[in-house]
Amino acid sequence: MPPMSDLSPASSVRPAGRPVVGILWMLATGVCFVAVATIVKHVGPDVPAAQSAFLRYVLGLVFLIPMIRPIRRARLNRRALGLFGLRGVAHTAGVICWFYAMTQIPIAEVTAMNYLSPVYVTLLAVMFLGERLALRRIIAVVLALVGALIILRPGFRDLGPGHLAMLCTAVGFAVGYLIAKIMADEVEAPVVVGMLSITVTICLAPFAIAVWVPPTWGQVALLFLVAVFATAGHYTMTLAFAAAPLTVTQPVTFLQLVWATLLGVVVFDEAADIWVLTGGGMIIAAISFMTWREAMIRRRTVTPAVPQTKG
């Protein structure tokens, strides 16, 4: 699964001054997400994408138990339910496309193109939340899109349905992250996370039924591991955000691309592509630059003037 963007609920955690701890937790996050991609890649050829995604979410509902009480306590109104429903639809589309892409293109390309989501979140925030597209954001967006072109290299190689699926994945997750940002200001984080699991499971069900093939117990066990690693990855990422600022933890996500490339070479016999690493590095650099600039501006806004600190 893709890393969460700087507009996700986890980013609302106030960062403390423990950069080493934050980096370690983000390294653990990378291991979890690469494990998710590796297992899905392994299962992919034998189980349809929609069914794999559905089983992952159904099996992951066990982790929803602690969130039931906050969801009931939230007493969601029609507007909140509508937004959560829209998020579920968008995320479902992204999940199906992601599972499908894993069966079509190298794991490194999937990982690299996942990083486009925060860029799309920035553009959607400008269009729907009225945020200003400052020069720093324009530079970051352009750099990230150039990175995406380097990965895809249209005109220099054949682009398949897996590449198109990943572009749709990034858009779907971006819409989901944007709605998560809106709802995180209104309800508790467990409600945001729990409602995502519920709505995505419901939305995936008809697609899974349409392509259903009887899974083996081994495949079910592997997809349960996907749920375990995905849940653990989001949890360790939250701990990383709580321990250190995004400006410290964001660049560490580049290692996910390195590990995915190595796994593709060693486990799946995929060729290492320097263009994918270069383009992915540019996308992550763009996200890190944008995150750093936002943090600097926020710090300047929060820090009181010199006379105000005396008294």
Highest mean pLDDT among 208-222, 226-240, 246-260: 208-222
Quick check: 7 pLDDT over 80?
no
Q: Which of the 8 DSSP states describes residue 8?
A: S
DSSP states of 119-184 as a string?
Answer: HHHHHHHHHHS-----HHHHHHHHHHHHHHHHHH-BTTB---HHHHHHHHHHHHHHHHHHHHHHHH
pLDDT in tens, 84-132: 999 999 999 999 999 999 888 888 888 888 878 877 887 887 787 777 7
Structure tokens, 62: 């066990």
pLDDT band at 12 (very low <50, low <70, confident <90, very high): very low
pLDDT in tens, 231-245: 888 778 777 767 776
Cα distances (Å, whole numbers) of residue 52 to 71, 103, 295: 26, 11, 38
Quick check: 4 pLDDT over 60?
no
